[in-house]
Structure formats: structure tokens, C-alpha cells
């Protein structure tokens, strides 16, 4: 009898954990994709999204659509400083960003950045992150 009660309670607990710990959100689904399955964007493509109503940024070679985060952003319009461009330095070196922001931003990832259109088509068959950093230094 005791074992049946434990099983029943455990089943209910697992059900609720599943419901509340694994919410279905667009950003969470994209973040769960493997890096090589994400769409690739050039700087030119990202630069077309540089307004409050359409805000994309590049952070550490990843592309994020932060349009829905502009208004709730605790730093106000500071989020617009690098709209449509590379926000890596501003994002990583901002002392006012709490630790959780590095996890939160993953929910907004829509793709990965490739340096230019030629490289975009060169890297479609393999993972760009497998290349060494020194390769990008001479580009």
C-alpha cells in the first residue's frame, strides 16, 4: 500500500514538473536546436532589423531577435544601442547585467552569424563553430 502511494505521488510530481519546468515558448524551442541546425545570417541581413519594432543583434556569433524584449528591458532604450549590429562587447562587458541574463538571452536566439555571404555558403555543409578562432582573425 505504501509503495502504491509513493508511486502515485511521484507520478503527480513528475507531471507537474513537466508542465512547469518545460514551457513551450518560441525562444526556448529555438534555443534547444543544435547549433548547426540554426539559420545562418550575415551582418547585412541582421542590419535590416535595427529599430524598436524590429530589433536583431549579434552576440558572440549568434543572432537574437530581441523585438519583444525592448519594452521589458530593465536598462530602457540601452538595448537599442547596437540594434542591427554586433552587441557582443556591450552585452558581455555591461556590469549591470545580472548573471541570469546570459541564460535569458538564449530564449531569443534565432540563428547564427556568419561573417559574409561567401562564407555563408561555404559553411552550410558543416558546423562553423568547429573552426578555430585563429581562422577568423585573418578575415
Query: What tens digit of pLDDT does each residue of 77-126 get?
Result: 999 999 999 999 989 988 888 888 989 999 999 999 998 755 555 555 55
At 65, which CATH number? 3.10.120.10
Question: What region does 47 belong to: left with phi over 0, alpha with psi -120 to 50, or beta?
Answer: alpha
Any domain includes 16 = no
Q: What is the pLDDT of residue 94?
A: 87
Residue 8 domain flag:
no
pLDDT of residue 11: 53
Residue 41 lies in a domain: yes
Distance CA 1, CA 55 (A): 58
Look at the chain and report how many structural domains it folds into. 1
The reply to whether the predicted model has a pTM over 0.75 is no
Within the chain, residue ranges assigned H as helices are: 2-21, 26-32, 43-47, 88-92, 101-104, 117-122, 133-137
Choose between 88 and 26: higher pLDDT: 88
Query: Is 108 domain-assigned?
Result: yes
Residue 92 inside a domain? The answer is yes
Q: Which domain range does residue 31 map to?
A: 27-129
Q: Is residue 134 part of a domain?
A: no
Average pLDDT over every residue of 35-48: 89
Cα angle 131, 135, 139 (rounded to 5 degrees) comes to 130
Amino acid at each position: 500500500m505504501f509503495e502504491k502511494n509513493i508511486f502515485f505521488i511521484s507520478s503527480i510530481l513528475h507531471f507537474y514538473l513537466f508542465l512547469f519546468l518545460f514551457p513551450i515558448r518560441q525562444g526556448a524551442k529555438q534555443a534547444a536546436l543544435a547549433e548547426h541546425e540554426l539559420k545562418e545570417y550575415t551582418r547585412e541581413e541582421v542590419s535590416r532589423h535595427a529599430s524598436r519594432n524590429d530589433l536583431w543583434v549579434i552576440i558572440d556569433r549568434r543572432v537574437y531577435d530581441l523585438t519583444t524584449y525592448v519594452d521589458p528591458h530593465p536598462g530602457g532604450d540601452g538595448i537599442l544601442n547596437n540594434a542591427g549590429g554586433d552587441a557582443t562587447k556591450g552585452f558581455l562587458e555591461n556590469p549591470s547585467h545580472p548573471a541570469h541574463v546570459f541564460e535569458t538571452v538564449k530564449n531569443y536566439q534565432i540563428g547564427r552569424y556568419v561573417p559574409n555571404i561567401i562564407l555563408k555558403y561555404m559553411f552550410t555543409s558543416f558546423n562553423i563553430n568547429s573552426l578555430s578562432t585563429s581562422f577568423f582573425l585573418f578575415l
